[in-house]
Each structure stands twice: as structure tokens, then as C-alpha cells.
């Protein structure tokens, strides 16, 4: 079902995303090419969800949730790290597009997390352009603790990203308090295409 047919309510949007992922697991995905009016999208967009996720090619958001054109405003960076451009893009989406849900989606076997975990364990820190990515993810690895597995750090990094957004983006906090926005921290499992829910705000 296109998200445009879902009520403008955080819980309804979250349930629709969960149902889409279940279709993926069941092998009963909807062919989005048959149900989307692409010509109509030339007049504007009305996404129900903003997704901040990793750039990893193995975790395409529309396929993870079996959604299509115009359903999600997606912001992707390596390791779903936050910087000024990401936060500004999110703020634009919240102010101009009025989505009902914000999802931070980590994933299994994240290269950025693996590199940061290796650095925290005593490895070398890159000196080039990739260094800020590893530094930011390394903070989550430190919070996760010395005995944390890569899976643990992936989960913790997603939780830390959610915490930063809720604490530092005024529109996120305001819309949460008003009940107009739900926030989800989740992790996509490459091994079976399922989505693991890690934390929720404003939805169940």
C-alpha cells in the first residue's frame, strides 16, 4: 500500500512500514510500479516518513520497507553519521513536508561501525577524508563498552544517533511533544531482510 494512503498519524505510518517489511520477509512484495502515479509526483511530494540511514548499497530503504516513489524522504551517509548538512536536510523535511515519522536505520555488517570498533580496540585511525566518519562512530563504540560485539555497537550507534536528534533538533522535540511525530531507532539485518526495532518515541 502506498504510504500516501496511510493516515497522517505516527502510529499508522510505523505500522505500514512494519507491514511492508513483513511483505519482504514473506516474499509477497507489492510491485510499486503498478500502484504509483509518477506523473502526479511532478507537482510536489508528501512523504510520510524521513529516514536517516547508512549509504550502504545493501540496505536500500524502499526495498527494506516495500515502499516506492514519494513515500520516504531519505538522508543517507556512511554510518548514518550526523553533520550540518544532514541536520539541515532533516529540519527542512520536518518544516516543509510535515512527515509523521522519523526513522534512524542502522544495519548489520556496517563497514563504518566495523572500522570504528577496530580503532577503539587498538587499530589505526584514518588520516584522510574518512577520518571524521570513524571518529563519530567511535564515540558509540566507546559507549557500548570494551566487550561489545560489532552487533552491539551497531545497535548503540543507532541509539546514540536518535538521542542526538531528539536532544539537539528543536523541531524533532517539538513535534514529538505535540504528538505529530514518532521517532524510531531500528536496525536492518542483511541475513534475512528483517528490521529489528531498538527504541521508539511517540509510537508503540
pLDDT in tens, 18-55: 999 999 999 999 887 766 667 677 888 989 999 999 99
Question: Is residue 110 marked as binding?
Answer: yes
Q: Does 26 reside within a domain?
A: yes
Q: Does 4 reside within a domain?
A: no
pTM, two decimal places: 0.95
Query: Which pLDDT value is given to residue 1?
Result: 62
pLDDT band, residue 57 (cuts 50/70/90): very high
Q: Does 5 reside within a domain?
A: no
Q: Does 172 reside within a domain?
A: yes
Query: Which pLDDT value is given to residue 31?
Result: 86
Cα dihedral angle (14, 166, 108, 127), rounded to 10 degrees?
150
The model's pLDDT over 143-202, given as tens digits with 9 standing for 90+, comes to 999 999 999 999 999 999 999 999 999 999 999 999 999 999 999 999 999 999 999 999
Phi-psi domain of 125 (left: phi exceeds 0; alpha: psi -120 through 50; beta: other)? beta
Q: Does 1 reside within a domain?
A: no
Assigned C-alpha cell, 81:
553519521
Rounded to whole angstroms, how far apart are CA atoms 27 and 121? Answer: 40
Question: Is residue 192 marked as binding?
Answer: no
- Quick one: which of 182, 188, 189 has its CA closest to 203? 182
- Quick one: which of 150, 135, 125 has its CA closest to 81? 135
**For position 61, which CATH number holds?**
3.40.1050.10
- pLDDT at position 131 over 90: yes
The model's pLDDT over 81-92, given as tens digits with 9 standing for 90+, comes to 999 999 999 999
Query: Which pLDDT value is given to residue 35?
Result: 64
Around 50, how many Cα atoms within 13 Å sit in the side-chain half-sphere?
Answer: 24
Q: Does 123 reside within a domain?
A: yes
Q: Does 86 reside within a domain?
A: yes
Assigned C-alpha cell, 73:
524522504
Name the percent of the chain lying above pLDDT 90: 84
Domain assignment of residue 181, given as a range = 10-201
For residue 189, give Cα distances in angstroms to 15, 106, 156. Answer: 19, 9, 15
Query: Which pLDDT value is given to residue 3?
Result: 86
| Number of domains present in the structure of the chain | 1
Give the residue-averaged pLDDT of 72-80. 97
Q: Does 2 reside within a domain?
A: no
Cα dihedral angle (198, 133, 120, 57), rounded to 10 degrees?
60
Query: Which pLDDT value is given to residue 34?
Result: 66
Question: Is residue 151 marked as binding?
Answer: no
Query: Which pLDDT value is given to residue 150?
Result: 95
**Who's near 107: CB < 8 A, 6+ residues apart?**
53, 54, 56, 58, 59, 154, 187, 188, 189, 190
- Residue linked to cell 515502499: 67
Amino acid at each position: 500500500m502506498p504510504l500516501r494512503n496511510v493516515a497522517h498519524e505516527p502510529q499508522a505510518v510505523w505500522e505500514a512500514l512494519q507491514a511492508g517489511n513483513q511483505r519482504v520477509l514473506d516474499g509477497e512484495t507489492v510491485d510499486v510500479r503498478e500502484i504509483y502515479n509518477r506523473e502526479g509526483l511532478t507537482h510536489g511530494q508528501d512523504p510520510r516518513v524521513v529516514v536517516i540511514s547508512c549509504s550502504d548499497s545493501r540496505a536500500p530503504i524502499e526495498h527494506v520497507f516495500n515502499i516506492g516513489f514519494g513515500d520516504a524522504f531519505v538522508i543517507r551517509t556512511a554510518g548514518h553519521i550526523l553533520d550540518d548538512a544532514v541536520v539541515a536536510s532533516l529540519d527542512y523535511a520536518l518544516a516543509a513536508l510535515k512527515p509523521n515519522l522519523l526513522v534512524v536505520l542502522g544495519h548489520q555488517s556496517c563497514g563504518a561501525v566495523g572500522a570504528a570498533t577496530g580503532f577503539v580496540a587498538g587499530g589505526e585511525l584514518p588520516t584522510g577524508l574518512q577520518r571524521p566518519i570513524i571518529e563519530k562512530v567511535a564515540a558509540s563504540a566507546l559507549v557500548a563498552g570494551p566487550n561489545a560485539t560489532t552487533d552491539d555497537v551497531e545497535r548503540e550507534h543507532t541509539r546514540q544517533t536518535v538521542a542526538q536528534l531528539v536532544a539537539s533538533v528543536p523541531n524533532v522535540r517539538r513535534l514529538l511533544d505535540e504528538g505529530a511525530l514518532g521517532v524510531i531507532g531500528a536496525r536492518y539485518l542483511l541475513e534475512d531482510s528483517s528490521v529489528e526495532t531498538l527504541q521508539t518515541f511517540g509510537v508503540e
